[in-house]
Amino acid sequence: MVYPYDLDGNFSYIGPFIYNYFRRQAEARLLAEDFRKYGILKRFTSTLGRMRDIGLEKLLKLIIYRLVKTMEISCGAIFLSDEEANACIVKVSHVLKGKQSISAVDLPQENALIRFITAHRKEFLLEDVQRLAAEVKPKNIPPPAHNHTTRIEINYSEVITRMQQLNARLVIPSFLDKELLGFLVLGEKASGRPYSEADIEVLLALSGQAS
């Protein structure tokens, strides 16, 4: 006698395997797409040294356009320090079609975000600041180990508020010794996926070459 096929039992058994198979396929496609984007940016980065003669503003516009478009980031901007204005000013910005732009406001040196960038001295995500705000009760962080100056007071809630006002998800600063030259501000990725370590490494390479 032929017994009817137990569909319910069979699908409950193979369902997870089917799900994992398609998940791996999707992850492989995303990884391949990421590597394609990284390749484009690396080739672009290698050409920057030959484009210095086009002028700073044109170069920065080209960088932010290529970065936002290739990485499919909602928006991005480059801020540069201005000694006369005693502030970091928006030099260039770019936004993907249909996405919210970076708020084009100049940030005075005493602004909480600038103070945090100066004290932190490396790239950081919005989530990093939110984690610090939750973990650290005192609203200050010590200066770098090699710097024996007094502690720099940081109001994390103000830093978070300013980043949200700017639509900033990732900030990559550029320093010359102790001097802040400027910083790159990027919004969220259009896909909604978080920034990966590989994303940040490629962006750091581009930022370093640009500076």
pLDDT tens string 31-46: 566 667 788 778 877 7
175 or 51: whose pLDDT is higher? Answer: 175
As given in the structure block, the two tokens for residue 70 are 């290739």
Structure tokens at 72: 């499919």
How confident is the prediction for the chain on average, in pLDDT? 79
* Total-model pTM: 0.74
The single-letter DSSP state of residue 138 is S
pLDDT of residue 8: 54
What pLDDT score does 120 carry? Answer: 93
pLDDT value at 154 more than 90: no
Q: What residues are paired with 140 via a beta bridge?
A: 153
Q: How far apart are CA 178 and CA 185, in angstroms?
A: 20
Look at residue 129 in the predicted model and tell me its pLDDT.
96
Distance CA 73, CA 91 (A): 18
Sign of CA dihedral 133, 137, 138, 141: negative
Residue 80 CA to residue 89 CA, distance in Å, equals 5
- 63: nearest Cα among 198, 192, 194, 184: 184
The length of the chain is: 211
Closest CA to 187 of 58, 82, 60, 98: 98
